[in-house]
Amino acid sequence: MASTKYVYDFDEGDAGMKKLLGGKGSNLAEMTRLGLPVPPGFTITTEACNHYYREGAYPEGLEAEIDEHLERLERKMGKKLGDKNDPLLVSVRSGAAISMPGMMDTVLNLGLNDDSVRGLANQTGDERFAYDAYRRFIQMFSDIVMGVERNRFERELEKKKEERGVALDVELTAEDWKDLVEKFKDIVRKETGRDFPSDPREQLDLAIQAVFKSWGNPRAVTYRKQYDIPHDLGTAVNVQTMVFGNKGDDSATGVCFTRNPSTGEAKRFGEYLVNAQGEDVVAGIRTPKSLDELAEEMPALYGQLTQVMEKLEKHYRDMQDIEFTIEQGKLFMLQTRTGKRTAAAALKIAVDMVESGLIDKEEAVRRIQPDQLDQLLHPRLDPDERYEVIAKGLPASPGAAVGEVVFDADTAEMRGSRGEKVILVRWETTPDDIHGIIAAQGVLTSHGGMTSHAAVVARGMGKPCICGAEAVKINQAERIFEVNGLVVREGETITIDGTSGKVILGEVKLIEPKVDENLEKVLSWADEIRRLGVRTNADTPEDAQRARDFGAEGIGLCRIEHMLIGEDRLPIVRRMILAEDEEKREEALMELEPLLRRDFEEILEIMDGLPVTIRLLDPPLHEFLPNLVDLRVELERLKHVPGEREEYEEKEKLLARVRAESEANPMLGLRGCRVGCTMGGVTEMQVRAIIKAACDLKKKGKDPRVEIMIPLVAFRKELELEREKAVEVTEGVIEAMQTRLEYLVGTMIELPRAALTADQIGEVADFFSFGTNDLTQTTLGFSRDDAEAKFLPMYLENGILTDNPFQTLDVEGVGKLVRMACELGREANPAIKLGICGEHGGDPRSIRFCHQVGLNYVSCSPFRVPVARLAAAHAALGDVQDATK
Amino acid sequence: MASTKYVYDFDEGDAGMKKLLGGKGSNLAEMTRLGLPVPPGFTITTEACNHYYREGAYPEGLEAEIDEHLERLERKMGKKLGDKNDPLLVSVRSGAAISMPGMMDTVLNLGLNDDSVRGLANQTGDERFAYDAYRRFIQMFSDIVMGVERNRFERELEKKKEERGVALDVELTAEDWKDLVEKFKDIVRKETGRDFPSDPREQLDLAIQAVFKSWGNPRAVTYRKQYDIPHDLGTAVNVQTMVFGNKGDDSATGVCFTRNPSTGEAKRFGEYLVNAQGEDVVAGIRTPKSLDELAEEMPALYGQLTQVMEKLEKHYRDMQDIEFTIEQGKLFMLQTRTGKRTAAAALKIAVDMVESGLIDKEEAVRRIQPDQLDQLLHPRLDPDERYEVIAKGLPASPGAAVGEVVFDADTAEMRGSRGEKVILVRWETTPDDIHGIIAAQGVLTSHGGMTSHAAVVARGMGKPCICGAEAVKINQAERIFEVNGLVVREGETITIDGTSGKVILGEVKLIEPKVDENLEKVLSWADEIRRLGVRTNADTPEDAQRARDFGAEGIGLCRIEHMLIGEDRLPIVRRMILAEDEEKREEALMELEPLLRRDFEEILEIMDGLPVTIRLLDPPLHEFLPNLVDLRVELERLKHVPGEREEYEEKEKLLARVRAESEANPMLGLRGCRVGCTMGGVTEMQVRAIIKAACDLKKKGKDPRVEIMIPLVAFRKELELEREKAVEVTEGVIEAMQTRLEYLVGTMIELPRAALTADQIGEVADFFSFGTNDLTQTTLGFSRDDAEAKFLPMYLENGILTDNPFQTLDVEGVGKLVRMACELGREANPAIKLGICGEHGGDPRSIRFCHQVGLNYVSCSPFRVPVARLAAAHAALGDVQDATK
């Protein structure tokens, strides 16, 4: 029986074996295959690691295989591990299939002991070098394999330098190093209770196991969580012949990129240190030289290196990040991998490579991660700046902003109108604060979650916002906030980063967003590839225009409630809600109609020729009323103030009405279509305003495309009744205005029951739009505000959840309902249009799901439109890959 | 082509043709078939009615068929309709497949006109009788067919009696009636603008159409809605030769039952009037005589009648409600139908009939409607009492109670402990009121819905409760409540009926519930038939005992939170929640443990040998804390009271904690297993208390069967983590107490996601219990409190909903999830136990669904256990029927 092969010589593998040999191992094999100067060695597979991780021991046969490959390596090099005359030294490095830089462990110079160090000294004729290497090995091995604290050795080294009156390592002599080697061995003995292992074969085994184990070290686990890397990939182990960049001034070690990783400029870029080992580069003690200097100092080697770089980039068809060592005038390649880059660089490189014919458009699209674009689309903190974070909150709306602290909306408006930059800081915001939010650069609240008023409004406006920064204690009366003892007064400058939730005292330099031509090009290629339409969620002409500029193909969600909270409207809305009879209500509705009509006309005009889905009033009505608690407190206060009898009585009456409207669980209360189904005239007024606006435009020769959306439907009959009303009003207006208009009436699918009975509902809907925010809330039983403030963070920490389900669609639960609703809806009505307008519509992984279930479009906030265009293309490319598997 | 037959002579049909001929028609046919003396006639089918209803006209051929059958009838009787010598008179009566007593119309004496009335007078030799019949006909026909108000005629009749100086109708002469006939015809002419129709054939057509139309009259539509009768059944029309009970003292008309419909006693029961027509019996003007008097007055006829009664009961194998007429010494049968009866009578009749071999046990079970039992299981208002309803609220917990009004829990407790009967009247109740609820006969709140604190607690205790009686305006300070201007003071007596939601001023006599031997017998037969187990929801030893007495086979839901709200516990729970560190929390938990352990021991002992499902803490923690609004108001008050600095600061600190715990949508917040998953020690303490209690009993030789239930699971991992904790604690306790114990750990399925991923969750659950209350809330997006207070009533009214989904399971939506979860759960774990513990577990139609999807058991409140046992048997019998179809 052929047993599993766990070890591959570099000349046995290739770049296609990444999963088995890891990134580093497969690329070393590939470079070997390409005939590049790679120090020989072998790779122990990720499967061996996984076995070790599972069973706590080597798999059967691995030890023998290592022996065999080691022997072959010794034969090839003509050296033996631990040999006292001419010892083979090796490095032992981790290397997973997906790069996790710096997360796992490496041991260099392995094979040295009291005997072989003398062999190394003889062979190199450099005793100082040999003992320096030996002490480095002890130091590194003891730290990584034996768990001895690194700075125990560093202290001994410092002591020695002091004793010898020197400042630099290079000033120490061979004798000094010899002495330190002994001292280091003492430390190991004292700390671990055992001698430093002198058998090189034992050293090798211990090092290999240490690398295996490092797969599970906490920082590696955290890293994998953060970057969504599966925990069962395992790492490979690369055992490679040592070459030395520290064998004198004809030796060097360095790192280079085939293009500039910051800007994408098509110019080689790299750094090296003369007479140094790789770890010295990483340690950043000496200032490295640039590649241009190499061209001057070692022109022949520079020539070789650039040839290799060119060869590698062409071979891999991507920008490479390369490690090399020059040992006494001879070039060795130690690593190549696809280089990490900024979003801007990624775009430029992709476009350049398409233009030079190196890759095709699909490949270019595939190489840009949609989420990367986010950094280009909002102002962001300059990464070169240093700053101190004084508090953290929920990243409620992305982007960074700088401004002076103000504590109320009126001050914000007043100062904002003078052109001053302010940040509005509130416990939480209400519709009364809207003019302040508009005037501010950004919003910071100490309360509320990702769907709090501030968060929703700010996201809609594309304004940075941090919510629920609980450490920020606001004292409204004294116009200060305190955070961990620090007092910040009104007028002091702060910076907020809504992308990360960081609050910073003082001004941090920001980088402004730009959509450059590279992005335009890549997005246009993405448009050729994607099948999903991309619309936007927009409630204002500004948002609509911005989204159209970003390439939105219509509006998927235009929320009327956001048009009702202006100072000129809220009082009318309140009168409408609190009306004592039908007549008074009708009066208020009549006042609202022309205001809404104007709003709709503006938005429809901007979106001329593109569909605009307008959702009828959705939130519970009490959201438009004064706060119940505030009212009760105010009443208590008035009790103690003499002579306010009249005001008291008026407020008391108001309280009774507000109390009657208040609800235990507003999310699940009288809202959505339930308002229209139980309160006459409200639906009719909204539809009238919409259709009149559309007919106005039609008469001006425009092409308005209205889709009326009924929210929160659970029962077919609800939609039927609301649809009947809408159609009746619409036909009436069209007739009265003597024009023609095509329009659709559909519904949001945002309740599990709607999804489960989508066959019934589909019979009376022209379209479904999945409201996955509410659908997630009801399917999971998670109130978003409460969950994000209370238990979601811990759920993510302890692994109950891998993602925030409000950011990335819960495919197993919510997704099952979406899929079911798509199937049932299409069965009932094959012509039905299907879209999504929850925040998931801007999340790349969720977009992939939308593509897979066959939605017609996604809709997202204006700033996410480019992200969604790209993600939709990625989803389509995924299909191609799946189909060719 | 054979056209549809729309008319059947009585001798063409039988009792099996109910759907086509209606109840009355098919029974007339059956009696004719049995050779009983039925006046001849024919029936026009329900299909004809449906056609008329749809098209507004007779179906083709109907008119000819009527002519044909009328002719045949005339031949048979040797009389002709409208004949001036010997006229045929007929009655025209409605008769649907399902009895709708008094809902539709009837016309008697049809066929009279100015000519035929003389024929009738000649034939009978009684002019007075003939003209009396004529004026009755005009009166009835004009009212029903022509829409002339009945009391227009009554006024004329009164005038005539006054004029003639007589008091009774019988004192009027033939001449008087003749005169009145003319006056009546004048009225018709004046009111309708046309003459009273004199053509008998036209009279017949108009009467038939009037009966058809009466199917759609508002009271009939309302009746059908209330009793769930389909609107498309239609009514048949019976045209029958008139016989007269008013032809002198050898004539009579009456109604009889083959057994007593109130008590079920196996003794004939009936009433009759000598010299009267059927309408006189119904009108209740004269006091009827009893059947015993008939035996004395007309022994031969009595003998005939009792023979007919015996024959009909044997033939129909059920108690019959019979109408008869004696015309000049000759007995005629006009109607027989299954008699309506009280629940007690239904039980006694069923048991008697089984014992006499008339029906089998299955049939006996089938005949008792589960919902009927409810009236036997709670005190109820004596139906013979007269009372005035001053307000209505939600029927939150069934049963009636009488007591004096008190406005706070302390007064309730004080007066209750003195043996006084009180009703606790509150705006709404909180855990602080629990001692008052215990001491009161019942609870009335002006706020809150079916799941408000008062409702849930009262239902748990089986105490009558009305919630949300919004018309009741409480003035706590003056200790009164006002309702529509009426002032009720503390100490005044009221009666509340939690079954109907009625609030009544003063004392109403109540009927106490009893479980008699008839009920016991029927339930024991039901137990033989049913496949579903029946458990109870019980949190107290009293409830557990009551439920076991009612035949519960275990506890399906024992809620720990109800054990935490006593005066001795709430302060500890608050300390636990507000603990500043782990140590303080652990202290509070340690204090709670022995208290809970005692509770569990009692309940487990009562349920010895039967499974007890204990649900770990479920509600949001802030439900145990002081109310946020009250606290803020109190703080505002303290601001204005000098010298309360210390209290102010303390309350301010408390407020901060309460605010931190408060939630936007508590239903969807930090509750259920989320508490255990994020707050250490809480789950462990509960499990320790449960398992220690069980082990205590085990050591006493008892047989405790514990099932630990983790609530509100949405993700497999939640259950996995909580299950691990529970198992670890359990095994530890068992080992420490050196005993053995079998136990299960399972979960509630109460979130859509849990149902959708039941295959994953099923892998780590020993059982699922469907929490259909919360599952309905999340699937429909209905907060029960808010929905029932705000839009459910209107939704039921305008037909969006046909049932309250919190009472009867929404099979299409929620049921789909339940079915899916059953299938997925059984796939993952074939041994899984499936039950339901939502309130639907006590609702007969929902129980039928539970049976169909194959649950193992239902669980309901103690008082519903007999209902559920019977409903489960009905469900099983339904299966038998389905299988033999």
Q: Using CB atoms, which residue from A721, A750, A801 is nearest to B715?
A: A801
Question: In chain A, positions 704-723, which contact chain B (CB-CB < 8 Å)?
Answer: 712, 714-715, 717-718, 721
Q: What is the pLDDT of residues B685-724, one digit of tens each?
A: 999 999 999 999 999 999 999 999 999 999 999 999 999 9
d(CA B326, CA A7): 110
Most A-contacting residue of B658, B659, B678, B794 (CB-CB within 10 A), to test interface: B678
Nearest to B753 among A669, A677, A780 (CB): A780
Q: Is A256 helix (H, G, I), strand (E, B) or coil?
A: strand
- CB-defined contacts A:B, below 8 A: 199
Cα Rg, chain B, nearest whole Å: 34
Q: Which residues contact A265 (CB under 8 A, 6 or more apart)?
A: A259, A348
Q: Name the token pair of B788.
A: 């029932």
Best A678, A748, A810 member to test B by mutation, with max B CBs in 10 Å, is: A678
Confidence at residue A852, expressed as pLDDT on a 0 to 100 scale: 96
Q: What is the pLDDT of residue A630?
A: 85
Give me the mean pLDDT over the A50-61 stretch: 91
Better-scored residue on pLDDT, A440 or B794: A440
Are the beta carbons of A677 and B791 separated by less than 8 Å?
Answer: yes
| Interface touch B633/A633, C-beta < 8 Å | yes
Q: What percent of chain A has pLDDT over 70?
A: 97
Q: Do residue B753 and residue A781 have CB atoms under 8 angstroms apart?
A: yes
**Which pLDDT score is estimated for B642?**
79
Residue A283 parent element (H or E): helix A278-283
Catalytic-residue membership of A837? yes
Pairing mode, strands A743-749 and A330-338: unpaired
The CA distances from residue A138 to A70, A94, A153, B15, B718, in Å, are 21, 19, 9, 104, 46
Whether the Cβ atoms of residue B189 and residue B197 lie closer than 8 Å to each other: no
Residue A374's pLDDT band, with cuts at 50, 70 and 90, is confident
DSSP state of A135: H
Whole-angstrom distance, CA of residue B309 vs CA of residue A180 = 120
Closest CA in chain B for residue A816: B756
Give B806's DSSP letter. Answer: T
Which pLDDT does position B224 carry in this prediction? Answer: 82
What phi and psi values does residue A645 have, to the nearest 5 degrees?
-50, -45
**Per-residue pLDDT, B884:** 36
Q: Does B653 touch chain A (CB under 8 A)?
A: no
CB contacts of B752 in chain A (<8 Å) are 752, 778-781, 813, 817
At A133-142, the pLDDT tens digits run 999 999 999 9
Enter the tokens of residue A862.
């204006």
Name the residue with tokens 């007779």.
Answer: B58
Chain A residues touching residue B778 (CB < 8 angstroms): 668, 752, 778-779, 781
What's at B633, amino acid-wise?
A: V
From the centroid of its chain, how far is CA B558? Answer: 26
Pick from A600, A558, A594: which is nearest to A694 by CA? Answer: A600
| Exposed/middle/buried for residue A581 (C-beta within 10 Å: 0-12, 13-18, 19+) | exposed
- Among A158-172, A678-692, B756-770, the least confident range: A158-172
Chain B 240-279, CB below 8 Å of chain A: which residues?
Answer: none
pLDDT mean over A618-626: 89
Please answer whether residues B624 and B574 qualify as being in contact, where contact means their C-beta atoms are separated by less than 8 angstroms: yes
- Average pLDDT on A695-703 reads 97
A461 versus A157: which is more confidently predicted?
A: A157
Quote the pLDDT of residue B708: 98
Q: Band the pLDDT of A169: cuts 50, 70, 90.
A: confident
**Which range among A69-73, A218-222, A398-402, B875-879 shows the weakest confidence by mean pLDDT?**
A218-222
CB-based contact A741:A694 (threshold 8 Å): yes
Q: A712: which chain B residues are within 8 Å (Cβ-Cβ)?
A: 781
Cα gap B862→B874, rounded to integer Å? 19
Nearest to B801 among A635, A715, A757 (CB): A715
Nearest to B665 among A665, A779, A813 (CB): A665
Chain A contacts in chain B segment 662-681 (CB below 8 A):
663-670, 674, 677-678
Question: How far is B816 from B236, CA to CA, in rounded Å?
Answer: 38
User: For residue A524, what pLDDT band results from cuts at 50, 70 and 90?
Assistant: very high
CA distances from B137 to A633, B123, B154, B192 (A): 71, 18, 13, 17
Q: B756: nearest CA in chain A?
A: A813
CB contact under 8 A, A790 and B669: yes
Residue-wise pLDDT for B96-147, tens only, equals: 998 777 667 889 999 999 999 999 999 888 999 999 999 999 999 999 899 8
Q: Is A638 left (phi over 0), alpha (psi -120 to 50) or beta?
A: alpha
Contact B753 A678 (CB under 8 A): no
What is the rounded distance in angstroms from the CA atom of residue A31 to the CA atom of residue B777? Answer: 62
Q: Is B821 on the interface with A (CB under 8 A)?
A: no
Nearest beta carbon to residue A752 from set B752, B774, B791: B752
Please report the pLDDT score of residue B385 as a whole number.
87
Alpha carbon of B677: minimum distance to chain A alpha carbons (Å): 8
Mean pLDDT of the region A405-429: 90
pLDDT band at B604 (very low <50, low <70, confident <90, very high): very high
Judge residue A587's burial from the number of C-beta atoms within 10 Å of its C-beta, 0-12 exposed, 13-18 middle, 19 or more buried: middle
- Residue to mutate among A717, A786, A791, with most B CBs inside 10 A, is A786
Per mean pLDDT, which range of A467-471, A682-686, A837-841, B432-436 is the poorest?
Answer: B432-436
The active-site residue out of A51, A378, A435, A453 is A453
What contacts B767, CB < 8 A, 6 or more positions away?
B613, B707, B709, B744, B746, B747, B832, B833, B834, B835
pLDDT band (50, 70, 90) for residue A522 = very high
Q: Which residues pair with A256 in a beta bridge?
A: A270, A322
In the predicted model, is pLDDT for residue B283 greater than 70? no
Report chain B residues whose CB lies below 8 A from the CB of A756.
779, 812-813, 816-817
Q: Is B618 in a helix, a strand, or coil?
A: coil
Residue A561 tokens read as 């409630």
Closest approach of B215 to chain A, Cα-based (Å)? 25
Task: Please name the member of B669, B751, B783 whose beta carbon is closest to the beta carbon of A668.
Answer: B783
Give chain B's end-to-end CA distance (angstroms, integer): 31
- Would you say A629 and B635 are in contact if contact means Cβ atoms under 8 Å apart? no
Give dist(CA B245, CA A203) in Å, integer.
119
* Residue A863 pLDDT: 86
The full DSSP string for A622-640 is GGGSPPHHHHHHHHHHHHT
- What pLDDT is stored for residue A209 in this prediction? 94
Give the pLDDT confidence of A720-768 residue by residue, as tens digits. Answer: 999 999 999 999 999 999 999 999 999 999 999 999 999 999 999 999 9
A447 catalytic residue (yes or no): no
> Using a CB-CB distance cutoff of 8 angstroms, which residues of chain A are in contact with residue B637?
636, 639-640
| Minimal C-alpha gap between B661 and chain A (Å) | 9
Mean pLDDT of all residues belonging to chain A: 91
Residue A1, judged by CB atoms within 10 A of its CB (0-12, 13-18, 19+), counts as exposed
pLDDT of residue B28: 96
Distance of CA A242 to the CA centre of its chain: 38
Q: What is the residue-averaged pLDDT of chain B?
A: 91
Task: Examine the pLDDT at B645 and tell me if it is beyond 50.
Answer: yes
End-to-end alpha carbon distance in chain A: 30
Asked if the model's pLDDT at residue A449 lies above 90, the reply is: no
- Confidence bin at A885 (pLDDT 50/70/90): very low
Give the DSSP H/E element, type plus range, for residue B7: strand B7-9
pLDDT digits (tens, 9 = 90+) for B803-854: 889 989 999 999 999 999 999 999 999 999 999 998 899 999 999 999 999 9
pLDDT at B1: 45
User: Closest-CA residue in chain A for B812?
Assistant: A757
pLDDT bin (cut points 50, 70, 90) of residue B431 is low
- Residue A678, number of CB atoms within 10 A of its CB: 18
Report the Cα A361 to chain-centroid distance in Å. Answer: 24
List all residues of chain A from 577 to 636 with a beta carbon under 8 Å from chain B: 628-629, 632-633, 635-636
Say which of A256, A465, A837, A850 is annotated catalytic.
Answer: A837
Q: Which residues of A touch B810 (CB under 8 A)?
A: 753
Distance in Å, alpha carbon of A127 to nearest chain B alpha carbon: 59
* pLDDT tens, position by position, B44-60: 999 999 999 889 899 99
In order, the DSSP letters of A318-365 are: S-EEEEEEEETTEEEEEEEEEPP--HHHHHHHHHHHHHTTSS-HHHHH
- The confidence score (pLDDT) of residue A100 equals 78
Q: Is A653 part of the contact surface with chain B (CB cutoff 8 Å)? A: no
Least CB–CB distance from A756: residue in B629, B721, B817: B817
User: Does the pLDDT of residue A177 top 80, yes or no?
Assistant: yes
Residue A269 has pLDDT above 50, yes or no: yes
Distance CA B600, CA B191 (A): 76
pLDDT higher for B816 or A434?
A: B816
**Contact by Cβ (8 Å): A724, A762:** no
* Residue B669, min C-alpha distance to chain A (Å): 5
Q: Are B783 and A812 a contacting pair at CB < 8 A? A: no
Confidence band, pLDDT 50/70/90 cuts, at residue B885: very low
pLDDT of A879 higher than 80: no
Instruction: Note whether ipTM > 0.85 here.
Output: no
Binned at pLDDT 50, 70 and 90, residue A460 comes out as low
Subunit contact A790:B678, Cβ cutoff 8 A: yes
Q: What is the pLDDT of residues B515-570, one digit of tens each?
A: 789 999 999 999 999 999 999 999 999 999 999 999 999 999 999 998 998 788 99
Give the DSSP per-residue string, B594-605: HHHHHHHHHHHH
d(CA A79, CA A82): 9
Confidence of residue B367 (pLDDT cuts 50, 70, 90): very high
Longest CA span, chain B: 106
Checking if the pLDDT of B425 tops 90, the result is yes
Return the beta strands (E) in A54-100 as ranges: 80-81, 87-88, 90-96
The amino acid at residue A354 is V
CA distance, residue A788 to nearest chain B CA (Å):
10
Task: Tell me the pLDDT band of B451, cut-offs 50, 70 and 90.
Answer: low
Is the pLDDT at B284 greater than 60, yes or no? no
Provide the pLDDT for residue B883: 40
**3-state secondary structure string across B74-139:** HHHHCCEECCCCCEECEEEEEEECCCCCCCCCEEEEECCCCCHHHHHHHHHCCHHHHHHHHHHHHH
Predicted confidence at residue B456, as pLDDT, reads 67
Q: Do B637 and A632 touch (CB under 8 A)?
A: no
Query: Please, which residues have CB within 8 angstroms of residue A506's CB and are 6 or more apart in sequence?
Result: A387, A493, A494, A495
Which H/E stretch holds residue A170? Answer: none
Structure tokens at A804: 């925030």
Rounded to a whole number of angstroms, the distance from the CA of B600 to the nearest CA of chain A is 29
Split at pLDDT 50, 70, 90, the class of B197 is very high
A781 vs B contacts (CB less than 8 Å): 667-668, 712, 714, 750-753, 774, 778
Interface of B with A in 327-346 (CB under 8 A): none
Q: Which sequence positions of B are flagged as catalytic?
A: 453, 837
The CB-side HSE value for A396 (13 A sphere, CA atoms) comes to 37
Pair B502, B510: CB distance under 8 Å: no
Nearest-Cα residue of chain A relative to residue B797:
A678
Give the C-alpha separation, B399 to B464, whole Å: 5
Q: How far is B620 from chain A (nearest CA, A)?
A: 11
